[in-house]
Amino acid sequence: MAGKIIIDAERCKGCGLCVTVCPKGGIAISKNSNKNGYFPAEAKNTDCTGCSVCAIICPDAVIEVLCDKNIIAVKKDKKTVQNQPCKDGVGKK
């Protein structure tokens, strides 16, 4: 998995735009409603590529996309760095 999707379920209105654009089908509409009565999107976080298309299309900016750092850079620096924003901050709240 190259990416991870975090959705603020309490702010999501469940419009479903993110579901339709995810190239890997990694987002679905929840069967449980949030405190506002909406059925929010929920991330499956399987096969996420970190493309950030879901975060870009979200009209309420409730999606954050995180990625693993480039493996070569991690080995070079001898650090384990995970959950960094993808594509220079695209998809970050």
**Residue pLDDT tens, the chain, 93 long:** 588 899 999 999 999 999 999 999 999 999 999 999 999 999 998 888 889 999 999 999 999 998 875 433 444 444 444 445 565 544 444
Domain 3-88, CATH among 3.30.365.10, 2.130.10.10, 3.30.1490.20, 3.30.70.20: 3.30.70.20
CB neighbour list of residue 40: distance below 8 Å, 6 or more residues apart: 7, 9, 10, 12, 13, 14, 29, 30, 33, 34
- 0.95 surpassed by pTM: no
Q: Where are the domains of the chain?
A: 3-88
Cite the DSSP H helix spans in 1-93.
17-21, 53-57, 71-77
